[in-house]
Structure 1
Amino acid sequence: MYATKTFLLILLFSFAIFMSCFQSPLYPMHRITLLRLIRSGVFLYGSLILVHFLFPDSREQQRRERIAGFIALLWLLPYGLVFSQLPVLFQNDIGNYFIFPSVLFASTVVFLELASHSKKARNPLCSLYTLVLFLLELSRIAYCFYFFHYGKPLDEIALLSILATTPREACNYLSSIFSLPLLAGVLSGLTTGFLLLFHEVESSCRSSCISELKGKKWMILSLLLLYFFGNYLTSIFPADRFLHLYRENGPLQAFRDLRQNLPRNARALKLEAPASQLPGSIILVLGESACRDDMSAFADTPENTTPWEKSRRQDQCFFFYPHAYSNFPNTVMAVTQALTSANQYNRKPLKYSVDIMTLAKKAGYETYWISTQEQSSVSDAGITVIAQQADHQEWLQEPDEDILEPLSRIPAEKKNFIVLHLMGSHFRYDYRVPQAYVEKQHWADVDKREKALWYRRSLHYTDFVLKDIFEETKSLPLQAMIYVSDHGEDMELTHTASPFQYDMVRIPLWIYLSPSYQQAYPQVSQQLRAHENAIFTNDLLFDTLSGILRAPSNFYCRQCDLTSPDYNITRDNALTLHGKRRIADDSRS
Structure 2
Amino acid sequence: MGETDDRLDMTPRRLALGSIVLLAMVLIVPDVAFVLTSPHGRKLSWVAGQLVLPTMLLMAYFAVLGRWPRLACLLMVPFAVLAPTATFYILDYRTPITEAVLGTLLATNVAEATDFLGPGMWMLVALSLAAGALAVIAARLSARARLHLIASRRVHGTVVALAAIPVFAFLGTQAVAQRPAGVGIAAGEGPGSHLFRAVRDSYPFGIPLTLGLWWKDQARLQAAMRRTQGFRFHAVHTARTGQRQIYVLVIGESSRRNHWQLFGYDRPTNPELSHTDDLVPVTHMISPWPTTIGAVPAMLTRKPATMGLFQPFTERSIVTLMREAGFDTWWLSNQSPTGEWNSPITAYADEAQHLQWLNLQRYDGSLPEGLGQAVRQSRGDLFVVLHMIGSHGSYDLRYPPAFKTFTPTLRDGGPSASRYRRVTNSYDNTIVYTDHVLARTIAELRQTGAIAALWYQSDHGETLPTATCRMSEHGHGYRYEFPVPALFWYSDAYAQAFPEKLAALRAHAGDRASSANTFATLADMAGVHFAGQDGSRSLFSTTWHYRPRIVHPVWQAEHGWVDYDRAELGDGCELVRPRPKAATSG
The TM-score normalised by the length of structure 1 is 0.58
The answer on 1:288 being equivalent to 2:253 is yes
Q: Residue in 2 aligned with 1:546?
A: 523
The 1:193/1:410 distance shift into structure 2, 3 A limit, reads closer
Is structure 2 residue 472 aligned with structure 1 residue 494? yes
Residue equivalent to 2:263:
298
Gaps of 5+ in 2: 1-29, 65-153, 160-167, 186-216, 414-418, 466-470, 554-559, 570-575, 577-586
Gap change, CA 1:445 and 1:437, over 3 Å in 2: same
Q: Which residue of 1 aligns with 2:51?
A: 188
Distance of 1:471 and 1:242 partners within structure 2: 40
Counterpart Cα distance in 1 of 2:47 and 2:319: 45
Which of 475, 481, 484 pairs up with 1:507? 484
State how far apart, in whole Å, the 2-side matches of 1:178 and 1:288 are.
26
Pairing of 1:39-118 with structure 2 (within 5 A): none
Q: Whole-Å Cα distance in 2 between the matches of residues 360 and 260 of structure 1? A: 20
Tell me what 1:483 maps to: 456
Letter in 2 for 1:332: I
Q: Which residue of 2 aligns with 1:279?
A: 244
Alignment deviations for residues 377-433 of structure 1 (CA, whole Å, 9 cap, x no partner): 422111111111111111112111122322222245521101111111110111111
Map 1:557-568; keep pairs closer than 5 Å: 557-568=534-545
SS at match of 2:47: helix
Match among 551, 561, 577 for residue 552 of structure 2: 577
Specify the alignment match of 2:272 in structure 1: 308
Q: Please, which runs of 5 or more residues in structure 1 have no aligned partner? A: 1-166, 208-225, 246-250
SS in 1 for 2:262: coil
| 1:233 CA drift (Å) | 7.3
- Structure with max Cα Rg: 1
Classify 1:437/1:199 alpha carbon distance in 2 versus 1 (closer, same or farther; 3 Å): closer
**Cα drift, residue 568 of structure 1:** 2.4
Contact 1:537 1:576 in 2 (8 A): no
Residue 396 of structure 2 corresponds to 430
Q: Partner letter of residue 406 of structure 1?
A: G
8 Å Cα contact 1:272-1:554 kept in structure 2 = no
Residues 252 and 234 of structure 1: CA distance in aligned 2, closer, same or farther (over 3 Å): farther
- Aligned partners of 2:457 and 2:485 also within 8 Å: yes
3-state SS of the aligned residue for 2:356? Answer: strand
User: What is the rounded CA distance, in whole Å, between the counterparts of 1:417 and 1:171 in structure 2?
Assistant: 40
In 2, Cα distance between equivalents of 1:522 and 1:172: 57
Q: Is the 8 A contact 1:282 1:481 kept in 2?
A: yes
Contact kept in structure 1, 2:337 and 2:343, CA below 8 Å: no
Task: Tell me whether 1:321 sits opposite 2:282 in the alignment.
Answer: yes
What is residue 367 of structure 1 aligned with on the other side? Answer: 329
* Separation in 2, partners of 1:195, 1:311: 58
Equivalent position of 2:423 in the other structure: 451
Give me the whole-angstrom Cα distance separating, in 2, the residues matched to 1:387 and 1:273. 21
Change (3 A) 1:400 1:171: farther
Measure how far apart 1:558 and its partner are: 2.3
Q: Is the 8 A contact 2:446 2:491 kept in 1?
A: no
Instruction: Write the letter of the residue equivalent to 2:523.
Output: S
Q: C-alpha separation between the residues in 2 aligned to 1:292 and 1:468? A: 20
Q: Does 1:175 align with 2:48?
A: no
Specify the code of the residue in structure 2 equivalent to 1:494. S
Structural mapping, 1:215-294, within 5 Å: 236-238=176-178, 240-241=180-181, 258-266=224-232, 269-271=233-235, 274-277=238-241, 278-294=243-259
Between the aligned residues of both structures, percent identity stands at 23
Alignment of 1:131-142 (within 5 A): none
1:341: which partner in 2? 302
Question: 3-state DSSP class of the match of 1:383?
Answer: helix
Q: Indicate how the Cα distance of structure 1 residues 199 and 423 shifts in structure 2: closer, same or farther if over 3 A, else same.
A: closer
Measured in 1, the distance between the counterparts of 2:394 and 2:433 equals 14
User: Which whole-Å CA distance do the structure 2 matches of 1:390 and 1:189 have between them?
Assistant: 46
Q: Does 1:419 align with 2:385?
A: yes
Deviation, 1:328, is 0.8
Cα gap change, 1:311 to 1:345, in 2 (>3 Å) = farther
Inter-partner Cα distance in structure 1 for 2:384 and 2:408: 36
SS of 2:439's partner is helix
Q: Deviations over 1:196-228 (max 9, x none)?
A: 999999979649xxxxxxxxxxxxxxxxxx9xx
Q: Deviations over 1:288-314 (max 9, x none)?
A: 110011111012x231111222334xx
Instruction: Select the residue among 514, 519, 528 that pairs with 1:537.
Output: 514
Q: Does 1:331 align with 2:299?
A: no
Paired residues, number: 388
Q: In structure 1, what residue type is equivalent to 2:347? A: V
Cα 1:445–1:485, aligned 2, differ >3 Å: closer, same or farther? closer
Quick one: structure 1 residues 275 and 193, their matched pair in 2 at CA, closer, same or farther if it must change by over 3 Å? Answer: same
> CA offset at residue 509 of structure 1?
0.4
Q: Which one-letter code corresponds to 2:294 in the other structure?
A: M
The 2-side partners of 1:347 and 1:198 are apart by 43
Name the aligned partner's letter for residue 492 of structure 2: P
2:319 pairs with 1:357: yes
Q: Any idea what SS the aligned residue of 1:489 has?
A: coil
User: Does the residue aligned with 1:186 lie in a helix, a strand or coil?
Assistant: helix
How far 1:192 sits from its partner (Å)?
6.4
Give 3-state SS (helix, strand or coil) of 2:529's partner.
Answer: coil
Cα distance in 2 for partners of 1:538, 1:501 equals 17
Separation in structure 1 between the aligned mates of residue 372 and residue 332 of structure 2, nearest angstrom = 12
Contact 1:288–1:423, Cα closer than 8 Å, also in 2? yes
C-alpha contact (below 8 Å) 2:251/2:386 kept by paired residues: yes
What residue in structure 2 maps to residue 381 of structure 1? 343
1:233-259: CA deviation from partner (whole Å, max 9, x where unpaired): 7863116559999xxxxx999966541
Change (3 A) 1:337 1:200: same
Contact 1:254 1:351 in 2 (8 A): no
Aligned counterpart, 1:59: none
Structure 1, residues 538-582: CA drift from partner, whole Å, max 9, x if none?
Answer: 232111111112112125332321112232224xx1111287122
Following superposition, the deviation at residue 522 of structure 1 comes to 2.1
Which deviations, in whole Å up to 9, do the C-alpha atoms of 1:80-138 show, x marking residues without a partner? Answer: xxxxxxxxxxxxxxxxxxxxxxxxxxxxxxxxxxxxxxxxxxxxxxxxxxxxxxxxxxx
Distance 1:309 1:387 in 2: 28
Letter in 2 for 1:580: W
Report SS of the residue matched to 2:176: coil
| Residue 321 (structure 1) shift | 1.4
Counterparts of 2:567 and 2:183, CA distance in 1: 32
Q: 2:369 aligns with which of 405, 409, 413?
A: 405
1:520 to 488, 497, 504: 497
Indicate the SS of the match to 1:265: coil
Q: What is the DSSP-based 3-state SS (H/G/I as helix, E as strand, rest coil) of the residue aligned with 1:263?
A: coil
SS in 2 for 1:284: strand
User: Residue type of the partner of 2:350?
Assistant: Q
Contact kept in structure 2, 1:353 and 1:555, CA below 8 Å:
no
Tell whether the 8 Å contact from 2:184 to 2:475 is kept in structure 1 after alignment: no
